[in-house]
Chains A and B, each alone.
Chain A
Amino acid sequence: AQTVTQSQPEMSVQEAETVTLSCTYDTSESDYYLFWYKQPPSRQMILVIRQEAYKQQNATENRFSVNFQKAAKSFSLKISDSQLGDAAMYFCAYTLAGNQFYFGTGTSLTVIP
């Protein structure tokens, strides 16, 4: 089975600062897809950003960007200009073909005013 590891159970960041959440994964495949999801307290999990492994360019969505290092099997999420609404649990996920997704254990992000 594929494994996805998030080594930081908890992180905190000052409002307006930048924070990076780590994610590593284990696969022998060359084409696959990676996602970051956000789960605010007592609210629905939503997609933050996605990355196709065949694309060398790092994905960016407004204040969210990824650092995708394929050889190192690393997929970190950078949040710039952190806002109070960014406080949530963040999950990294991997899928090969879109039928099975493998999730990390999550990183709980606190934003300090």
Chain B
Amino acid sequence: DVKVTQSSRYLVKRTGEKVFLECVQDMDHENMFWYRQDPGLGLRLIYFSYDVKMKEKGDIPEGYSVSREKKERFSLILESASTNQTSMYLCASSLQAPNQPQHFGDGTRLSIL
């Protein structure tokens, strides 16, 4: 089974802090994704990566950056956390083929105070 592991299930940070969310997958997937999930808005793509050191902006990249130095690891960075970034963050990975589904981590519930 594919395992996508997010480093924290719950995280509380303060406004202005730099926040790192880590995601690791164990199935050699080329694609990795970061989503934000908010009630009534579904999942919105922040960034995705189709290869090491490659990244593409999604629908809501403002205030976020990403890093993919190794194939199995995809990090989401909140440069200067703000209260409107309080949300559930989901990481996913998939093979680089259109009929392949995404595999998700458990999610990180991030609160910015």
Hey, which bits of chain A sit against chain B, CB under 8 A? 1, 6, 9, 32-33, 35, 37, 43-47, 50, 52, 91, 93, 95-101, 103-106
Cα(A46)–Cα(B58), bound, Å: 22
Q: Which 9 A-B pairs have the closest CB atoms?
A: A98-B98, A105-B42, A45-B104, A103-B43, A47-B101, A103-B42, A97-B98, A44-B106, A33-B99
Contact, CB under 8 Å: A105 / B98 = no
Q: Which residues of B contact A6 (CB under 8 A)?
A: 42
The interface on chain B, measured as residues whose beta carbon lies within 8 A of the other chain's beta carbons, has a size of 29
Which residue of the partner chain A has the closest CB to B58? A100
CB distance from A64 to the nearest CB of B (A): 14
Q: A50-B101, A97-B98 are in contact. List 6 more A-B contacts (CB 8 A).
A: A32-B98, A52-B99, A98-B95, A98-B99, A100-B56, A104-B42
Q: Which residues of B contact A32 (CB under 8 A)?
A: 98
Question: Residue B52 at the A interface, CB < 8 A?
Answer: no
Q: Summarize A's interface: helix, strand, loop or mixed.
A: loop
7 pairs of residues in contact across A and B, judged by CB atoms under 8 Å:
A6-B42, A45-B92, A91-B42, A98-B95, A99-B56, A100-B48, A103-B35
Contact with A along B39-62 (1 / 0, CB 8 A): 011111100101000001011000
Select A33's contact among B40, B44, B98, B104, beta carbons within 8 Å.
Answer: B98
Contact, CB under 8 Å: B100 / A98 = yes
Q: Which residues of A contact B100 (CB under 8 A)?
A: 98
Contact, CB under 8 Å: A98 / B94 = yes
Which residue of the partner chain A has the closest CB to B102? A101
Contact, CB under 8 Å: A95 / B98 = yes
Q: Which residues of A contact B31 (CB under 8 A)?
A: 98-99
